[in-house]
Structure 1
């Protein structure tokens, strides 16, 4: 049924979808947190480190995405790489964690959206929760249409994202008052344990802000010329966002000193207010909400294809394989992720969600995919790859080591990630057990009917 998906998304549209996914509420919320971890001008290195991780991991996604341009992204990569038995387990684990993690991502974005609304309009707890629910419902209505329309809509949302960030950068550099030097007077700071602990904790937050560079892989079955456009989209997205993030950080602390910036939840609003006044700050806050909305749009679009791909492969519940009868998109999958996202948004606060999201994904997805590249290369020695990463296997080895560093930097959430994975393994074997019993029962009934 996957052949029914139409290849309508161009390079520009794919890059737009990636970039609006990357620039969600994340950077506007985590900038003060990252500064607080370092409590020094060295906080910028967490953003640089996050970009390095994105580039290394982007090579892995590009090689896999160009080779297997199908709906579902990681689901297909893991299924193909780990063989018949292992592939079924690993792809099931990916869907297992995605079925929890994707709605958490949706919830985190909607909660952050509602928190920024509070800058404009005073809200009590129940009103704030209502806003987070309404924004998800509205996004579902927007996504309930054909993919070519969504591709055009994503470009419009991307324009809003770029306007917001460029305004922040331009405002800071044209009104810069405070000198900022991210290079320490004493280089021994780089070799102290405090720096590396802060780098690990800060990078958990900055990586969250970079996540989304791979969204195009989840839409692999709908990308025009995927063997070229998937890698191009990934690297263009990472490069553009890394430059914008670094410039935005330098711009903000050039107006609001880092010693003070770490204390503000609405750092962008405070920053704009310092330069242009309260009226402009309200406009900036509205634009931040636009960015958060656009990111949630991309998240729901990409993740809704994952359960769909698994269901097509008989590795998830069959209703998720259904396409909308007239608009040709996986609507059951979309409704499930949005619905569970609403439940999570009503149940949890934003605190800790970012670390939880990353801890859940590192083992089953990021590290597992790094190993997948090695397995696939060994299996297909003579095959020419549509995209081949540079200086292989160095990016794979480096990526795995860095992901392990980040994983343990999430603290107790690393244990949560391990337990979620173990629960998935148990669920897989329970599912296999009952499926075998069902098959044996059918065969027994067939033999009985043949006898009579």
Structure 2
């Protein structure tokens, strides 16, 4: 839950209201939770049956090695090098937005400098051996939950049911195409806010009873976070007129939590909560880059990505190239989202969320859903402490949800072409794989290696050559 709920809800509530065009935005949080639940069961089965570090690239390696060698895990890491730092970029954008509440006169150029300095400071702090990640995560969770609790409590002490539950005429028109465009935009924002439900799957090797723990960790965390989000969204709508959230120049649009506290408990309380939200944003980017930089490192050490990413700093023992790459992409994502086509109708956060979710769909989401079926056929003897129930319904529903997000991406971001960019990025990754495979002399330029290391019926020995 600490991975799922960082600064996200504080910056996306106005975006969700804009997507649906009114307080019916609560639909987006529910739809996002449903997609997270069914997709989370995919993660639960894979995480329980293929325990170990690496997560998706392990699942894709095991499932698709029979036909495409190391291509799919390579492509996952390739795409992760883009979507993980883009997620961090949203945290930087949120930090600058909320800082604007404490610094009303901040210009756009000053905001740019603050955001870039923010990334530089995080990178500098990570340029050493970090041994207190558990403590940092606990502090981040405590600060975040304090901020959320303060906003919820303040909103319900001044709650107006008529303001929160009076929906516009024709709020839900299932036969109207515009409703589904808004629904797809809301679903995209919703799944972005629930990202992190898969965290337990990366810890399969450290869980005593993964068949029991994995699905419960996924389900309970999503339901818990959904409860928090609904309380937060409805509470905010009961205090702030939803039309104010559509005005890009209003406090309610840029710093909605601060607006709630200012209207209910006064400016001093709003200042305090804003500082807590800034701390949450900083901590989420710090821990995100810390963990994200390890993804290419783990993959390189496992032989499915460029060897240079597998090197550690000589003194402090952290993955240098992974940290540098993701920090640079984070800074670039932040800066470009504020300057390339950003407008009142397409703010930087919307651009980043559309891009990062679209990049995730092909290689991680859809390929991983397919991996469950492939592994059931290719490795029927694989120990499965948890088997998705009722298979294959969750897989199908998850695939439909991700395809809705992908199919409407261009309509929700006209002029930015997230679908085309995602396809181009995967094509570039495929070319990079071919160049890497030629140097490493692996398939398709060498023998195909089959490593069924998680099969209990097969001894874990040297990879078999086909």
Matched residue of 2:68: which SS?
A: helix
Tell me, in whole angstroms, the C-alpha distance in 2 between the residues paired with 1:415 and 1:92. Answer: 20
**Aligned residue number for residue 311 of structure 1:** 300
Structure 1 contact 178–254 (Cα < 8 Å) conserved: yes
Q: Secondary structure at the match of 2:2?
A: helix
Distance 1:58 1:244, change over 3 A: same
The alpha-carbon distance between structure 1 residues 302 and 417, as it changes in their structure 2 partners (threshold 3 A), is same
1:113, CA displacement in angstroms? 1.1
Partner Cα separation in structure 2 for residue 157 and residue 82 of structure 1 = 37
- 73, 79, 90: which is aligned to 1:108? 90
| Partner Cα distance (2:151, 2:165) in 1 | 19
Structure 2 counterpart of 1:290, from 275, 279, 297: 279
In 2, distance between residues paired with 1:191 and 1:142? 52
2:117 corresponds to: 134
- Residues 205, 126 of structure 1: alpha-carbon distance in 2 compared, 3 angstrom cutoff: same
Decide whether aligned partners of structure 1 residues 306 and 186 sit closer, same or farther in structure 2, where only a CA change above 3 A counts. Answer: same
| Corresponding position of 1:12 | none
- Alignment partner, residue 443 of structure 1: none
Aligned equivalent of 2:353: 354
Task: Give the secondary structure class of the aligned counterpart of 2:191.
Answer: helix
Residue of structure 1 aligned with 2:49, choices 67, 73, 80: 67
Inter-CA distance 199–364: structure 2 relative to 1 (3 Å threshold):
same
Distance 1:138 1:236 in 2: 35
- Deviations along 1:315-357, one digit per CA (max 9) or x if unpaired, are 2222322345676654542343224323443444225111011
Task: Assess, with a 3 A threshold, how the Cα gap between structure 1 residues 329 and 61 changes in structure 2: closer, same or farther.
Answer: farther
C-alpha distance 141-65 of structure 1, shift in aligned 2 (>3 A): farther
The structure-2 alpha-carbon separation of the partners of 1:421 and 1:71, relative to structure 1 and needing over 3 Å to count, comes to same
- Separation in structure 2 between the aligned mates of residue 293 and residue 213 of structure 1, nearest angstrom: 21
Q: Structure 1: state its 5+ residue gaps.
A: 1-18, 441-452
Residue 181 of structure 2 is matched in structure 1 by: 197
Deviation at 1:244, TM superposition (A): 0.5
Check if 1:408 corresponds to 2:413. no
Quickly say closer, same or farther: Cα 1:225–1:87, change in 2 above 3 A. Answer: farther
Cα distance change on mapping 1:108 and 1:96 into 2, 3 Å? same
Residues 299-322 of structure 1 show CA distances to partners (whole Å, capped at 9, x for unaligned) of 223322210122012222223223
2:218 and 2:52 map into 1 onto residues whose CA distance is: 16
Deviation at residue 141 of structure 1 after TM alignment: 5.1
Aligned residues: 422
SS at match of 2:287: helix
How far residue 229 of structure 1 moved from its aligned partner, in angstroms, is: 4.7
**Alignment partners' CA distance in 2, 1:96 and 1:40:** 38
Cα distance in 2 for residues equivalent to 1:436 and 1:144: 34
CA contact (8 A) 1:72 1:307 kept: no
What is the TM-score of this pair, normalised by structure 2?
0.82
Distance in 1 of aligned mates of 2:54 and 2:119 = 21
Contact 2:22 2:167 in 1 (8 A): no
Q: After the TM superposition, which residues 218-233 of structure 1 pair with which residues of structure 2 at under 5 Å, given as runs?
A: 218=202, 223-225=206-208, 227=210, 229-233=213-217
DSSP-derived class of the 2:390 partner? coil
Cα deviation per residue 1:59-117 (whole Å; 9 max; x = unaligned)? 11111122223222111111111124425111111111112222222222212212221
Distance in 1 separating the partners of 2:42 and 2:167: 31
Structure 1's 216 and 383: CA in aligned 2 closer, same or farther, altered over 3 A?
A: closer
Which range is displaced more, 296-305 or 279-288?
296-305
Q: Give the aligned partner of residue 43 of structure 1.
A: 25
| Compared CA separation, residues 434 and 320, structure 1 to 2 (3 A) | closer
**Distance of aligned partners of 1:334 and 1:215 in 2 relative to their CA distance in 1, 3 Å threshold:** farther
Note if contact 1:21-1:298 (Cα within 8 Å) is conserved in structure 2.
no
The answer (yes or no) to whether the contact 1:158–1:294 under 8 Å persists in 2 is no
In structure 2, the gaps of 5 or more residues are 248-252, 339-347, 411-416, 446-466
Query: In 2, are the aligned partners of 1:28 and 1:267 still within 8 Å (CA)?
Result: yes
* Offset of residue 187 of structure 1: 9.6
> RMSD across aligned C-alpha pairs, in angstroms?
2.9
Per-residue deviation, 1:265: 2.0
Provide the residue aligned with 1:58 in structure 2.
Answer: 40
Deviations 1:374-396 (A, max 9, x none): 11112232433122222111000
Matched-pair contact (CA < 8 Å) for 1:143–1:150:
no
Determine the structure 2 residue equivalent to 1:266.
Answer: 255
Matching of residue 212 in structure 1 with residue 196 in structure 2:
yes
Q: How does 1:10-29 map to 2 (within 5 A)?
A: 19-29=1-11
Query: In 2, distance between residues paired with 1:361 and 1:435?
Result: 27
Residue in 2 that maps onto 1:157? 140
Structure 1 stretch 361-370 or stretch 405-414: which is displaced more?
A: 405-414
Contact 2:54 2:299 in 1 (8 A): yes
